[in-house]
Structure 1
Amino acid sequence: MSIDAEVGQELAPLTLTFTREDLVRYAGASGDFNPIHWSDRRAAELGLGSVIAHGMLTMGRALRVVTDWVGDPGRVRSYAVRFTKPVPVPDDDAGAEVVVTAKVTQVADGVATVALEALLGETRVLGSAVAEVRVD
């Protein structure tokens, strides 16, 4: 099944919520128990205002804007990001909301290049985020 893709096409935006519970679950799954992801005291010792989400959790969840569009994570050929700002996660039930948007920037030889933007409020948390996906 091929996916309709054209340069300039905007994908449906995705709002992600990160809670402390998400961080605990990700730490267990990934083995990343760095205390900046669970201890406000340890985060403060490093100058952080709060516990922060794991970068790889943020990166992985942001890609869902693309995988939801193509319908199959197996279509992703490559994905790269630069972490620009951490995602502080408050100790409450609401958590932190990151809005992910994406736009097709190139289509060639059955592959679409998609640029992603992830914003926490007005703060960009991922930079140079680009995925290549098979669309043929």
Structure 2
Amino acid sequence: MPVRQLAEVSVGDVVGPVTVPVRRETLVAYANASGDQNPIHQDESFARSVGLPDVIAHGMWTMGASATVVADWVGDAGRVVEFGTRFTKPVVVPVGGTEVVVEGVVKAVDAGTGRVTVDVTTTCGGEKVLGRCVAVVRLD
């Protein structure tokens, strides 16, 4: 995808929605890559024993999936200069998997710095799983 240019972006522009699948195999691969082997992400019995409805996705996986959608929209992951969020609800991953939906709205365009602020909304099953999710990207 070509790199998005500042002149192509306006306040109110929409990012997505993009649906990102997550399966238990995704969680195992993420755990192996990240070193986060907490059993709430892989062991259904353990997850239930600590009060969760099932295994849950790593919060950082959810954040990363959301940031990837923004990076794809910009056309270059190196142009994402800030990404922050609060984890508000876990992504429960049943045996058959689930999906998160990521979308955003351009809230500010600063022609002087070339920075664009995007409010990102990430949901699973229609419920927000990330709160105060904001990305800042640099466009030339």
Work out which of the residue numbers 52, 67, 73 in structure 2 matches 1:63.
67
Q: Which runs of 5+ in 2 are unaligned?
A: none
Between the aligned residues of both structures, percent identity stands at 50
What amino acid is the match of 1:99?
V
1:10 aligns with 2:48: no
CA distance in 2, matches of 1:12, 1:128: 18
Q: Which residue number in structure 1 is paired with residue 88 of structure 2? A: 84
CA distance in 1, matches of 2:80, 2:102: 17
Q: Which runs of 5+ in 1 are unaligned?
A: none
**Are the equivalent residues in 2 in contact too, given 1:65–1:102 (CA < 8 A)?**
no
**Are the equivalent residues in 2 in contact too, given 1:5–1:135 (CA < 8 A)?**
no
CA distance in 2, matches of 1:74, 1:15: 22
Secondary structure, in 3 states, of the residue corresponding to 2:65? helix
Instruction: Please show how residues 117-132 of structure 1 align to structure 2 within 5 Å.
Output: 117-132=121-136
CA distance in 2, matches of 1:12, 1:131: 14
- The alignment of Structure 1 onto Structure 2 pairs a total of residues equal to 134
CA distance in 1, matches of 2:124, 2:99: 6
Structure 1 runs, 4 residues or longer, greater than 4 Å off = none
1:19 aligns with 2:48: no
What amino acid is the match of 1:66?
V
CA distance in 2, matches of 1:86, 1:121: 11
CA distance in 2, matches of 1:40, 1:11: 34
Secondary structure, in 3 states, of the residue corresponding to 2:84? strand
**Are the equivalent residues in 2 in contact too, given 1:8–1:105 (CA < 8 A)?**
yes
Cα offset for 1:117? Answer: 0.3
Cα offset for 1:12? Answer: 2.4
Question: C-alpha offsets along residues 82-109 of structure 1, whole Å, 9 cap, x if unaligned?
Answer: 00000010112xx111111111000112
CA distance in 1, matches of 2:67, 2:9: 17
Secondary structure, in 3 states, of the residue corresponding to 1:11? strand
Q: Calculate the TM-score normalised by the size of structure 2.
A: 0.92
CA distance in 2, matches of 1:121, 1:101: 14
